Amino acid sequence: MVNIDTVYQKVLAFANKEQRGYVTPQEFNLFASQAQQEIIEQYFYDLNQFDRGNGNNTEYSDMVTLIQEKIGTLTKLHRFVKILGNKGWHTLPDDCYKIGTVTKDREEIDEITYSEVAKYRKSRLTMFTYVTRGYVFQNWDPINSVSARGIQVYPSNADMEGGIRISYVKIPEPPKWGYFVVGEKALYDNTIYDPTTGLGKTTHFELHPAEETELVYKILKYAGISMRRDDIAQGGQALESLQTQQEKQ
């Protein structure tokens, strides 16, 4: 987790230097949400890039391990409830951003394509069984004939006794710097927002602590663009680029 007030105060310190500009709480919250999502999406591009390399065995400098650790802060586990007549279809959790591993009885199930499903079914040697399973990600619920994100597991009765589990990267809650107004001035409200009750005003970043600096630079860049201050936007962009170069060296 990254404290949102710490990030906001640093952004203000950069933006307000020499009275260049002020980032309102409303603007900051919009920029914060965009920055958080951008960082998460970048994980998967970076992971693919570094995974192609040879890597190294150094405990604290292997980039694949570091990225996986960051993704781990957003990873959840989910077990699907057995539903009679589901024919192998499972609707993904609402907060699922990207599927990690699908398993049955601790055995991993491989992701396949629709074309592969037809191909495997043609031969007794490759047809789906309780031992050889596969799943297809799709955006259509064949049971209720509605749009829905889920997985179709083959064979369709592979989970007749339940036990299909997935790990996935979740969609984080939008970060929000909560505040109350006193004398026309916004003051930080550190009460944590609870989505089940609707109480509380603040939501921290659901990112690895190492992302604090990256968040500051990205939000500063967005703020400069919004205020049409090239010096702020360029400063944020330059700091962000330098941070990225250092991480990828």
Could you write out the three-class secondary structure of 233-247? HHHHHHHHHHHHHHH
CA dihedral (82, 87, 92, 93) in degrees, to 10, reads: -30
Cα torsion angle, 192, 194, 199, 202, sign: positive
- For residue 62, name the pLDDT band (cuts at 50, 70, 90): confident
Q: What is the pTM of this model?
A: 0.79
Domain extent listing, the chain: 4-71+174-248, 77-170
Range 117-121, long-range pairs (CB < 8 A, 24+ positions): 117/154, 120/154
Phi and psi torsions of 205, nearest 5°:
-70, 135
* Beta-strand relationship, 107-111 and 134-141: parallel
Report residue 18's pLDDT band, with 50, 70 and 90 as the boundaries: very low
Whose tokens are 């992971």? That residue is 47
Q: Which tens digits make up the pLDDT trace of 137-150?
A: 999 888 888 999 99
